[in-house]
Structure 1
Amino acid sequence: MNTGLLMLWGYWDSIYQRCTRLRYVEKGNNIFRIVLLRYRGEPLITSDQRIINPGDLIVKLHIHNYYYATLCKGIKNDLRLALLLRRHIMLSLPKLAAYLERLERREEIKGIVGTTMLHKGVEPLGFSISDVPMTWFFRYKRWYLRLMLRIIHPEGKRRVQSWKQEMPLKRVYMSKDQLLGRYGSTIQSPTGEGL
């Protein structure tokens, strides 16, 4: 991506941030931005057998695309791009868990949920994956995410066209208990009491 386009995107991202309810987990040092909201969708069964039902309070995950684009600048290899994203997700999850632990409404939260085309390899990190219904909203989101990939990826249009079949839009999710158990700072004793 050229420097001028990245700079314009940075201005737009700043405006977008002010106009939405998205919150930074840790500005400039975390690949996630989040919003706290009520889940709307089909019931989700997580890998640790928790259920996220419609109406449950969730942390909605958003990849901070502009931040990721700045990290990708100058990288042209697909494998390096994928490894970079995975590394930053792994570094960001403990900070997300710490952020969630500090929220006033943390007891109400059932899990974290995101929608992405970049879902390959997330299951070993604790996420479950499911299809999304192709409503007008998800069709728009798929178009938007493809546009982002076209901008971020060095081979742009050609790469996104080749991803159409192998990179469908998916929902990725994890229960709050699993997030905190895997990435949180609170260690439970065998009796269930914090140490």
Structure 2
Amino acid sequence: MKAGKHVITSEISWKKKIMITLWVKWESLFNRFFHIQPIDENQPFLNVRVCTYWGKTIQLLDGEEIHRGDRVLELHLNNEMLFKMGINSCSSIQLAIQMIRTTEQLLPKTLLYILNHPKYEEIKGLYGVSMIHRGTKQFGFTVIDLPKGLFFFITKIYLRLLLFVVHPQGKQRLQTKGELLVPKMIAISTKEFIRRYPNDRS
């Protein structure tokens, strides 16, 4: 499935179709500007970029720490593909299973991306902020509450708006489970990632 092909079901209202189309275009521009690229062009569910971490120190479950100024692999979900998964799923459980299976397939490829990066030895860990964090612990990620403040507030508003746009039941989710839709930080050290997903180069 190529990210550039936009398939929007006729069951979605025309207003939401417009919102989704505009959001996809915005996200495409955002990814180009910040050099965010898919781990797998044929399955572009997980996008990444190597960047400098500017937040507070992250204490990871394996004892490692990510400090301000460390290089990290920043994780981003492909929200267009997430939307397509949602409209093709019969329930939230089926959607969650599909996301987990896709992630399982992409994590070994993510390690290869790290190992093949010219600054591989500088990458301290993998890091992301998302409301879709349940289930990430089984992949070895530490889940951390974001400190309250301006960044937390802006991130929460942005991700809720994103959920409303790309999730087929976005409005209902916000109305019924709004208190559970809190963004959290997920992170794992490169050492732990290599330990969990070994390959010939590691």
Normalising by structure 2, report the TM-score.
0.83
One-letter amino acid of the counterpart of residue 128, structure 1: T
Q: Does 1:137 align with 2:151?
A: yes
**Are residue 171 (structure 1) and residue 182 (structure 2) matched?**
no
Q: Please state if 1:117 is matched with 2:131.
A: yes
The residue that corresponds to 2:5 in the other structure is: none
On the 8 A contact 1:69/1:152 being kept in 2, the answer is yes
Q: Which residue of structure 2 aligns with residue 75 of structure 1?
A: 89
2:127 alignment partner, SS class: strand
Unmatched runs of 5 consecutive residues or more in structure 2: 1-7
| Equivalent pair of 1:113/1:173 in contact (CA under 8 Å) | yes
Match of 1:146 among 147, 157, 160: 160
8 Å CA contact 2:146–2:184 kept in 1: the answer is: yes
Identity of aligned residues (%): 27
Amino acid at match of 1:135: G
2:121 aligned counterpart, secondary structure: coil
Aligned residue type for 1:79:
I
Q: 1:163 to 1:28 in 2, by over 3 A?
A: farther
Change in 2 beyond 3 A, CA 1:175/1:76: same
Letter of the structure 2 residue corresponding to residue 43 of structure 1:
T
Report SS of the residue matched to 1:164. helix
How many Å apart are 1:180 and its aligned residue? Answer: 1.6
Residue of structure 2 in register with 1:192 after alignment: none
CA contact (8 A) 2:131 2:184 kept: yes
Aligned equivalent of 1:53, options 67, 70, 87: 67
Residues 32 and 64, structure 1, Cα contact 8 Å, conserved in 2: yes
Distance 1:30 1:139 in 2: 28
Amino acid across the alignment from 2:71: L
Give the distance between the partners of 2:87 and 2:161, measured in 1 at CA. Answer: 17
CA 8–74 in structure 1, closer or farther in 2 if over 3 Å, else same = farther
Q: 1:169 to 1:11 in 2, by over 3 A?
A: closer
Note the C-alpha offset of 1:68: 1.7
Give TM-score, length-normalised by structure 1: 0.85
Aligned partners of 1:94, 1:163: CA distance in 2, in Å?
33
Question: Residue 179 of structure 2: SS of its match in structure 1?
Answer: coil
SS in 2 for 1:165: helix
Deviating more after overlay: 87-96 vs 142-151: 142-151
Q: Contact conserved, 1:75 with 1:154, CA < 8 A, in 2?
A: no
Report if the CA contact (8 A) 1:128-1:172 is conserved: yes
Distance across 2 between alignment mates of 1:161 and 1:179: 36
Mapped to 1, the partners of 2:82 and 2:40 lie a distance apart of 14
Aligned residue-pair number: 188
- Between the aligned partners of 2:9 and 2:98, the Cα distance in structure 1 is 19
Alignment counterpart, residue 106 of structure 1, candidates 109, 120, 125: 120
Per mean C-alpha deviation after superposition, the further-off stretch among 105-114 and 127-136 is 127-136
Match of 2:170 in 1: 156
